[in-house]
Amino acid sequence: MQKSGILLLLALFCTVTAATAQLPDRILIIENLMRQGDFDRALQTVEEELAISAPSPDLLFLKGICCSQIERLRPQATDIFYQALGICQEWRLKVSILYHIARMYRLDSEPANAIRIYNHLLEYAVPDKFREHVEQERASCYRLLKHGGKTDHGKITGLDHILQAG
């Protein structure tokens, strides 16, 4: 995805939760670096914060976005998003994390996994103003699957439970 696209998605989906409300300056610094396209420095700032504080879903989410934009670290992004999802309690951030997990599956040519998440998001969670974007992403996965994308590896389990808990 192009830099402008990821920044749009960051603006659409990213939210600071109460758990990181005491870190607004650091979060703002990280988000500014990301807006400037300096994902290496943003990642460094996230990792510095994670070294001195307990992992929060917000920080892990931002780390996942940074990793997804740095080619050499992109394979780690999905696992980082899953770590964030595992400790996330805030509904809107769960939706954002799930969206980015689906996006990573789509980019990694695993459209079946991406489609499953997009379907759950469309069924349970996506606000109307983002629905068209998610539907377009899902359609691109169907096209990829039709043209020989990788098959489902069974990584997505328990999403109904996660989504209904929010």
Q: Measure the CA–CA gap between 120 and 126, rounded to whole angstroms.
A: 9
Report yes or no: 71 and 83 within 8 Å, Cβ to Cβ. Answer: no
Q: What is the pLDDT of residue 68?
A: 94
DSSP codes joined into one string, 50-107:
HHHS---HHHHHHHHHHHHHSGGGHHHHHHHHHHHHHH---HHHHHHHHHHHHHHHHH
pLDDT beyond 50 at 146? yes
Coil, helix or strand at residue 110: coil
The structure's pTM equals 0.76
Q: Measure the CA–CA gap between 160 and 166, rounded to whole angstroms.
A: 10
| Every domain of the chain and the residues it spans | 3-165
- The DSSP 8-state label assigned to residue 18 in this structure reads G
What fold, for 3-165? 1.25.40
> Poorest-confidence range of 74-78, 89-93, 123-127, 154-158?
154-158
Tell me the pLDDT tens digit for each residue of 54-102.
899 999 999 999 999 999 999 999 999 999 999 999 888 898 999 999 9
12 or 132: which carries more pLDDT confidence? 132
Q: What is the pLDDT of residue 23?
A: 57
pLDDT beyond 60 at 1? no
Tell me the pLDDT tens digit for each residue of 8-62.
344 444 444 444 455 568 888 999 999 999 999 999 999 999 999 889 999 999 9
- Residue 86's alpha-carbon distances to 29, 83, 97, 139, 149, in angstroms, are 25, 5, 10, 27, 28
